[in-house]
């Protein structure tokens, strides 16, 4: 009997031990999953964009490798833990010099380019960044099917209904007039009322031709009108205001200068020091687009889709010979035949640096609201009269400009004014713009 009790006690102890072990294992799994999910992905995204996005993307190899699930991948494939990642991020060069196998493997794979050190990032910062990289890729929401032609949004009235209603209205009006005319004729016939024929009058054309004074006035009117319209037509020869050509690579000033706030002179740098503003070299574009290979979905519009913009970036890559997958130049380039938009006659002289650097004019003064232009067009007429009006109305900025001190002092006394316009300083002399 005692042996049976002993066996029961051993069995109960075995069950209890297994239960405790199962509970500990479950607890460790929970703790591991919680640890893996620790960190704030929102803060991590901000830190990633500020420190990592110049060389890394989550799902695409760039200057450095793609970083989505980086902690999980290194743990499963290489057996590396969080401490190794922290050491690599804070000082990759030290890890390479220590002889670490995987660190040297990455160093060799990326052509001996060591990762920038980030010693300022705390453990919490790194945890937040890794939490951001551990998020699943967002699935794009399916686009709403386009409405069929002729369909109208809810709450509106379709164009077909309006036109149909107007057609019915005019039909009823014509029918009403016909019935009124018919009724009046019946009434006249019933009361023996004769409907007299219209009284014949002298031909207006013959009366007009026989009046010599009116003929003279009309002849003078037509001569003056013809001269006026002919002058207006000839004055528009060579004026291309509104000219908006399609370029070989679509470039949206609205996105670059408007949404992203890029200064005009970052791309057109020669406008500060040269007569011409210049066409930016494609290398200037690649300063940003080596990393920016697609646009944000929010950039897309009904007219220009995300796929369209991404395709234009690919045209840029083809032109400069950039292999985005391998992140290197192939050496195979193609010329881009840009279409010139603003073009003055050869006999007209205009210096960008004189207006941009000396006069301090904004680009929008002549080129209009470029930050709102999806496709660039000629905003101003660029005629002689337009330039002269600007010189007559624009005061020259002479403050803190030694070049103008002496001439400003003399001319302000001559004209009795505090501010001088470009015209008062010789801006209307023919030789200033024509040579």
pLDDT value at position 123? 86
366, containing H or E segment = helix 364-367
Give the tokens for residue 76: 């499963």
Angle in degrees, CA 287, 292, 293, rounded to 5: 120
HSE, side-chain direction, 13 A CA sphere, residue 23: 6
Give the tokens for residue 357: 């650097």
Residue 137 burial (10 A CB sphere; 0-12, 13-18, 19+):
exposed
Ordered alpha helix ranges (H), 37-158: 41-51, 70-73, 82-90, 92-97, 101-109, 123-133
pLDDT value at position 210? 82
- Helices 282-289 & 306-320 angle (0-180, nearest 10): 120
pLDDT by residue (tens digit) across 365-422? 999 999 999 999 999 999 999 999 999 998 887 777 676 777 777 777 777 777 888 8
Give the tokens for residue 56: 């890394």
pLDDT value at position 32? 42
- Total number of residues shown for the chain: 435
Give the tokens for residue 173: 């009006």
Name the DSSP class of 415. Answer: H
Rounded distance, CA 18 to CA 11, Å?
A: 11
Q: Is the whole model's pTM more than 0.85, yes or no?
A: no
Give the tokens for residue 159: 């164009």
Report how far Cα 121 is from the mean position of its chain's Cα atoms: 34
pLDDT value at position 140? 53
Cβ partners under 8 Å of residue 412, min gap 6: 418, 420
**CATH among 1.10.760.10, 3.30.300.30, 3.30.9.10, 3.40.50.150 for 41-133:** 1.10.760.10
Which residues of the chain fall below pLDDT 50? Answer: 2, 4-11, 13-21, 23-37, 141-156, 198-200
Q: CA–CA distance from 66 to each of 69, 70, 199, 286 (Å)?
A: 9, 8, 95, 20
Going by C-alpha positions, the residue among 247, 236, 268 that lies closest to residue 377 is 247
Rounded distance, CA 274 to CA 265, Å?
A: 12
Cβ partners under 8 Å of residue 423, min gap 6: 388, 391, 392
pLDDT by residue (tens digit) across 336-374? 999 999 999 889 999 999 999 888 899 999 999 999 999
Name residue 434's beta-bridge partners: 348
Cβ partners under 8 Å of residue 142, min gap 6: none
pLDDT value at position 154? 44
Phi, psi of 40 (to 5 degrees): -105, 110
pLDDT value at position 13? 44
Q: What per-residue string of b and e applies to 283-319 under the rule 16 or more CB within 10 Å gives b?
A: eebbeebbbebebeeeebeeebebeebeebbeebbeb
Cβ partners under 8 Å of residue 240, min gap 6: 343, 378, 382
| 249, 312 contact by CB (below 8 A) | yes
Give the tokens for residue 36: 């893996």
Ordered alpha helix ranges (H), 52-196: 70-73, 82-90, 92-97, 101-109, 123-133, 159-190
């Amino acid at each position: 009997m005692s042996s049976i009790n002993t066996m029961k006690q051993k069995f109960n102890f075995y069950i209890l031990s297994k239960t405790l072990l199962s509970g500990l294992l479950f607890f460790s799994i929970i703790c591991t999953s919680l640890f893996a999910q620790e960190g704030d992905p929102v803060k991590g995204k901000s830190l990633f964009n500020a420190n990592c996005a110049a060389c890394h993307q989550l799902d695409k190899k760039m200057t450095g490798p793609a970083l989505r699930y980086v902690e999980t991948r290194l743990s499963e494939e290489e057996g590396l833990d969080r401490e190794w990642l922290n050491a690599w991020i804070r000082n990759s060069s030290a890890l390479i010099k220590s002889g670490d196998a995987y660190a040297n493997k990455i160093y060799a794979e990326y052509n001996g380019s060591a990762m920038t050190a980030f010693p300022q990032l705390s453990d919490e910062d790194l945890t937040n960044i890794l939490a951001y990289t551990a998020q699943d890729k967002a699935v794009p929401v399916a686009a709403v099917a386009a409405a069929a032609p002729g369909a109208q949004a809810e709450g509106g009235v379709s164009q077909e209904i309006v036109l149909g209603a107007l057609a019915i209205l005019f039909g009823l009006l014509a029918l009403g007039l016909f019935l009124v005319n018919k009724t009046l004729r019946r009434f006249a016939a019933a009361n023996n009322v004769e409907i007299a024929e219209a009284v014949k009058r002298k031909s207006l054309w013959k009366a007009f031709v026989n009046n010599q004074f009116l003929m003279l006035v009309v002849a003078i009117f037509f001569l003056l009108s013809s001269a006026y319209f002919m002058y207006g037509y000839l004055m528009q020869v060579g004026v291309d205001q509104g000219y908006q050509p399609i370029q070989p690579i679509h470039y949206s000033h609205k996105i670059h200068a408007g949404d992203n706030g890029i200064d005009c002179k970052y791309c057109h740098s020669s406008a500060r020091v040269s007569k011409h503003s210049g066409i930016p070299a494609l290398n200037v574009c690649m300063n940003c687009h080596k990393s920016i290979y697609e646009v944000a979905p929010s950039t897309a519009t009904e007219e220009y889709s995300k796929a369209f913009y991404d395709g234009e970036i690919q045209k840029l890559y083809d032109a400069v010979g950039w292999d985005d997958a391998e992140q290197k130049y192939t050496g195979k380039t193609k010329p881009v035949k840009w279409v010139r938009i603003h073009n003055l006659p050869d006999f007209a002289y205009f210096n960008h640096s004189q207006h941009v650097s000396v006069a301090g004019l904004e680009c929008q003064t002549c080129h209009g609201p470029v930050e709102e232009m999806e496709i660039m067009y000629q905003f101003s007429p660029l005629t002689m009269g337009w330039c002269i009006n600007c010189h007559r109305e624009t005061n020259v900025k002479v403050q803190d400009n030694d070049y103008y001190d002496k001439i400003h002092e003399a001319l302000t006394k001559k004209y009795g004014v505090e501010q001088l316009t470009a015209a008062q300083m010789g801006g209307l002399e023919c030789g200033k713009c024509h040579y």
